[in-house]
Amino acid sequence: MITLKSPREIKEMQRSGAILAGMHIGLRNIIKPGISSWEIEKFALKYYKEHDAIAEQIGFEGYKYATCISVNDEICHGFPRKNLILKDGDLIKVDTVVNYHGAMSDSCWSYVVGKSTPEIDRLMKVTKDALYLGIDQAQVGNRIGDIGAVIQHFTEDQNGYGDVREFIGHGIGPTMHESPNVPHYGEAGKGLRLRAGMTITIEPMINIGTWKAEMDDPNGWTARTADGSLSCQYEHTLAITNDGPKILTSQDPERDKKYLLK
């Protein structure tokens, strides 16, 4: 079921999103060579507790952690691990969902550990640019396919990367995952028409190589690129409004100026 949010509900989701964004900003000082990915999990849990928020992922279909931490060829749903020590050049994706007094927000961000490379820098830029191209299509009257089509064309046709098909964006609030599905591929002009009050995530997962994923990890959760290539992801929660798409998990008020609620 699709729920249309009131301005008050969207404001509450923005408060949740600000907590989530603050956690991501804090990770910039945490993620460095030599730490384990478990330190990221500990930081997130502490941050949410200090801000009177709940890590909504814990307990979802049996998932045990506040964060998904996926490294290098791991596309998504990687576990935080005490024995996974981060090193220079690792590409880390941290995905997490916050519940603040019933208001949901969902955001994944990518970080490079220590020294980066031109290959990683380009992948990260293309993935983030793809996210914003998708957000620009999240207009009242447009269709879901408009979002996916622009992302797929930019990442695959223009940049030669793989645009993951197996995992997609979704509606959010009052529950973590709800309708509509928001693929990052597809055909413009097709699919559900967007309406004011919808709240969705856009979260492209882009691989240097093939778009195909392998989902045979023994933990039953983690997905990897089928060819072992690097994968990157950025995700925002946003509201569809008559004044355009509004990002509810912004980390950059300057870049996101036109996407912020007034």
Phi then psi for 129, rounded to 5 degrees? -60, -40
Integer-rounded Cα radius of gyration of the chain: 17
pLDDT of residue 73: 98
Closest by alpha carbon to 223, among 147, 151, 162?
A: 162
Q: Which residues are annotated as a binding site?
A: 77, 95, 106, 170, 177, 203, 235
Let me know: does 248 contact 238? Beta carbons within 8 Å: yes
Q: Which residues are annotated as a binding site for substrate?
A: 77, 177
- What residues does each domain of the chain span? 7-259
Superfamily of domain 7-259: Creatinase/methionine aminopeptidase superfamily (3.90.230.10)
* H-state helical runs in 28-62: 38-50
Q: Against a cut of 0.95, is the pTM above it?
A: yes
Residues contacting 55, CB < 8 A, separation 6+ = 44, 45, 48, 65, 66, 67, 96, 97, 98, 99
Residue numbers belonging to the annotated binding site for a divalent metal cation: 95, 106, 170, 203, 235
Give the CA count within 13 Å in the CB-facing half-sphere of 17.
30
Mean pLDDT by 10 residues, the chain (262 residues): 95 98 98 98 98 97 97 98 97 98 98 98 98 98 98 98 98 95 97 98 98 95 98 98 98 96 89
